[in-house]
Structure 1
Amino acid sequence: MNESSIVVTGAAGFIGSCLVGFLNSQGYTNLLLVDDFSRADKEPNLQGKTYLQKIERESFFDWLQKDDPAIDFIFHIGARTDTTEFNYAIHEHLNVDYSQKIWNYCVEKNVPLVYASSAATYGGGEFGYDDNHELPFKLKPLNPYGISKNEFDKWAIEQTAQPPFWAGLKFFNVYGPNEYHKARMASVIFHSFNQIKKDGLVKLFRSHRPDFKDGQQLRDFVYVKDVIKVCYWLMQNEPASGIYNLGTGKARAFEDLVKATFAGIDTSPNIQFIDMPEDIRDKYQYFTEANMQKLFNEGYTDKFYSLEEGVQDYVRNYLSQGKFY
């Protein structure tokens, strides 16, 4: 067993709970889980996992001050991730102010930090998808969620007082087990699987741009098992601090994704195209693709799941069986 004491925020959520499970598998059980634990629909994500304590998100900083625990590492995965929430104040509280408090604690106590940023910061992609430190200051995210994540990235880059090691991970389109509670914000694979089970077909958004055919909108889909491996590698190796993209580096079409989902349940594809809702039409990313060179240059060598491999594993071993990671 590893005695290191690790904080995971957003621990009951999709990526956070998978990270907790992975840390357990690597012998880490002294885990301090931070989240809003009032939501019953997230509870199954933590079943069977080992940890020291759960701490409510809004009382975390008071708890730190009172208990003054020895902490070896913080994974700040928690965030308000709803891209359809247009009240910026909600995003600002959790994604900017709260993150700044975590950062300042890490500086004061000399604790390394990995935090979740997002590919939503890249907006329409007109400036490309490089994770250098000049780009965040030019970016124009398309929604309040993306804006809040970019605001914190910019703030972090400008700080002279920094944790001993820090990495901001720009998650691209993450999919995989433990996203059952995410409703509208769950991955297209999750929704596709449920549509196939219910109706025998999948509805995909029509393209509303002449340069993209229906179903050929492209995203960098990355399997959550790769995401948590990178998080763990960063903790183990502490390479150069900074912002890092986290995708596969290969954009794929939504149509490919859905076909892979059908293949996962041994069914012929049946896809129907529908109009995109008006409220997201002008805020929709048609193409994302992570430039992954920075992470590779720092020495990360593990192979990423291909879209087909990841979807196959997710559909056959989790969705089809109602299992959690």
Structure 2
Amino acid sequence: MIIVTGAAGFIGSCLIQKLNELKFRYIIAVDDFSNAEKNLNLANKAIMERVDRKDLFSWLEKNNREVEFFFHIGARTDTTEFDTAIFDELNLDYSKKVWEACVNYQIPLVYASSAATYGLGENGYEDKEELISSLKPLNPYGDSKNDFDIWALNQPKKPFFFAGLKFFNVYGPNEYHKGRMASVIWHAYQQITKNGTLKLFKSHRSDFKDGEQMRDFIYVKDLIDVCIFLMEHRKNSGIYNLGTGKARSFNDLGVATFQALGLTPTIEYIDTPADIRDKYQYFTEATMQKLRSIGYDKPFTSLEDGVEDYVQNYLVKQLYY
């Protein structure tokens, strides 16, 4: 059995699809299954059992001997939520219980951290574990992810294999339900198909032109390939960046989306809202040497190719992966 938390969500459902393609059928899907729209992500997927997230640990007491691997993908990911109690419950405390279960039952673990832990990037974007305690996230979501990374590294008892993955800007199919927290590509597609134009934030810094703010955008299929590699590798425990290692501008993203639709780019620039302006990231880029050093050598999908696949094969056709 393979456990996937956040199973009905964006990344979790894509991971289950890939596991199915690799002939894994004994999937234990863990989530809050009350969102009917999100549950569409699991349609036509081979799942052995659905377990409500609040019932997971009692389920593990009875079934832990059958579990081969644990992917802890589920989390509250809203960067605009400022109720720290929500993140303490769902991201920090729940993840601690997952960790302790994997220690007690000797289950290898891959869990989702986040590039939000890097804040404004004052300390760079290197995934050196000795730097993690000095990072300064910009919101309670980032704090919760960084707090767990710090806690995990300080535990005297660890799973015999674990990997925490700092996801950078992930995009791809099955994010329909995420609303404002969906990727910029998803929002760009909605704007372009509705109005024929794309609105991007102006730059409020003299060293960046409008739309030239940069992010490390990673296609969800690449992210899943790394997860599968780590499941098979099961060596070199630690915390790893997961981006492409190449930052691209929002202008690049916009042009790629127009091109995927066969349209001439029309981009307008609007002021960055004042309430987020002082916390707005102008540049993120994962350093990927650490993951490469343990043997992951598959190339990452270019922004243009990833956007084209996502737009043409999923968004236009309104299909799930």
Query: Match for residue 89 of structure 2?
Result: 93
Q: In 2, distance between residues paired with 1:89 and 1:212?
A: 36
Query: Match for residue 259 of structure 1?
Result: 255
2:215 to 195, 219, 232: 219
Aligned CA RMSD, in angstroms, stands at 0.9
> Which residue identity is paired with 1:135?
L
Query: Match for residue 322 of structure 1?
Result: 318
Query: Match for residue 176 of structure 1?
Result: 172
Shift of the alpha carbon at 1:68?
A: 4.5
> Which residue identity is paired with 1:190?
W
Q: Is the 8 A contact 2:64 2:105 kept in 1?
A: no
Q: In 2, distance between residues paired with 1:281 and 1:173?
A: 19
**Within 5 A, what are the aligned runs for 1:69-80?**
70-80=66-76
> Which residue identity is paired with 1:296?
R
1:236 to 223, 232, 237: 232
Query: Match for residue 154 of structure 1?
Result: 150
**Within 5 A, what are the aligned runs for 1:53-92?**
53-68=49-64, 70-92=66-88
Shift of the alpha carbon at 1:262?
A: 0.3
Deviation readout 1:203-222 (Å, 9 max, x if unpaired): 11111222211101100000
Q: In 1, distance between residues paired with 2:63 and 2:124?
A: 44
SS class of match (2:129)? coil
1:45 counterpart = 2:76: no
2:125 to 120, 125, 129: 129
SS class of match (1:134)? helix
Deviation readout 1:80-134 (Å, 9 max, x if unpaired): 0000001111111111100000000000000000000000000000100111111
Shift of the alpha carbon at 1:67?
A: 4.6
Deviation readout 1:273-295 (Å, 9 max, x if unpaired): 11222332222211100000001
Q: In 2, distance between residues paired with 1:220 and 1:147?
A: 20
Overall identity of the aligned pairs, in %: 61
1:301 to 297, 300, 304: 297
Residues paired across the two proteins, number: 321
- Listed as ranges, the gaps of 5+ residues in structure 1 are none
Q: Is the 8 A contact 1:84 1:280 kept in 2?
A: no
Distance change >3 Å, CA 137–CA 29, structure 1 → 2:
same
Deviation readout 1:32-51 (Å, 9 max, x if unpaired): 00011000110211111001
Query: Match for residue 198 of structure 1?
Result: 194
Query: Match for residue 115 of structure 1?
Result: 111
Q: Is the 8 A contact 2:188 2:254 kept in 1?
A: yes
Q: In 2, distance between residues paired with 1:89 and 1:283?
A: 22
1:207 to 194, 203, 209: 203
SS class of match (2:66)? coil
SS class of match (2:67)? coil
| Residue range with higher mean Cα deviation, 63-72 or 279-288 | 63-72
Query: Match for residue 32 of structure 2?
Result: 36
Q: In 1, distance between residues paired with 2:30 and 2:124?
A: 34
Shift of the alpha carbon at 1:66?
A: 4.4
Q: Is the 8 A contact 1:34 1:56 kept in 2?
A: yes
Distance change >3 Å, CA 113–CA 67, structure 1 → 2:
closer
Q: In 2, distance between residues paired with 1:41 and 1:133?
A: 38
Query: Match for residue 142 of structure 1?
Result: 138
Q: In 1, distance between residues paired with 2:10 and 2:174?
A: 5
1:10 counterpart = 2:16: no
Deviation readout 1:8-40 (Å, 9 max, x if unpaired): 000000000000000000010100000110001
Shift of the alpha carbon at 1:62?
A: 2.2
> Which residue identity is paired with 1:55?
V
- Listed as ranges, the gaps of 5+ residues in structure 2 are none
Shift of the alpha carbon at 1:162?
A: 0.4
* TM-score relative to the length of structure 2: 0.98
Query: Match for residue 270 of structure 2?
Result: 274
| Residue range with higher mean Cα deviation, 207-216 or 169-178 | 207-216
> Which residue identity is paired with 1:208?
H
SS class of match (1:17)? helix
Q: Is the 8 A contact 2:212 2:249 kept in 1?
A: yes
Q: In 2, distance between residues paired with 1:72 and 1:18?
A: 19
SS class of match (2:44)? coil
